[in-house]
Amino acid sequence: MRIKTKDDRRVRIQLRQRKRISGTKERPRLSVFRSVTHIYAQVIDDLSGETLVSASTVEPAVKGSLDKAARGGNLAGAEAIGKVIAERSIEKGIKRVVFDRSGFLYHGRIRAVADAARKAGLEF
C-alpha cells in the first residue's frame, strides 16, 4: 500500500492498530472517527460484528442538545459526543471498553472524546 495522501497514512495506521485492538462482548471497542465538520463514535463488538451503541453530531437528538458554541468540528462538540456515548453505553450495561482512535493522533478532538467518556463513567 503506497502512501499518497494523509488519509492513506491514517488508514495504514488504523490497520496496524486493529491487529492488536479487538472488541469483545465483555469489553467492546469504542471507535472514534472525525471529519472536518462532524465527529462519530461507536461501541462495537467485533466477535459478532455488531454496533452496540453509536452517537454523532449529525443526529438531530445530539445536534439539538449542543450549545451554541459546540459544533461537530470543535472541542466542545467532541466533549458532548464523549458524554453521550458514555451515557448510552452505561444505559446498555457497558462500563469497560477498548479505545480505538482509528489512526488519528491522540490529541485535540479525539482526546476530548476520550476524556469526556472517562469523566462520564466509561473505563479504558
- Residue 10 pLDDT exceeds 90: yes
Phi, psi of 100 (to 5 degrees): -120, 115
Band of pLDDT at residue 70, cut at 50, 70 and 90: confident
What pLDDT does residue 69 have? Answer: 81
What local confidence, expressed as pLDDT, does residue 74 receive? 93
Tell me if the domain spanning 6-119 has CATH number 3.20.20.190: no
Grid cell, residue 115, equals: 476524556
pLDDT tens digit sequence for 75-109:
999 999 999 999 999 999 999 999 999 999 999 99
Q: What is the pLDDT confidence band of residue 64, given thresholds at 50, 70 and 90?
A: confident
Residue type, 37: T
User: For the chain, what is the mean pLDDT?
Assistant: 94
pLDDT at 65 over 80: yes
Query: At 72, is the pLDDT very low, low, confident or very high (cuts 50, 70, 90)?
Result: confident
Q: Under 8 Å CB-to-CB from 100, ≥6 apart: which residues? A: 17, 18, 21, 29, 30, 31, 32
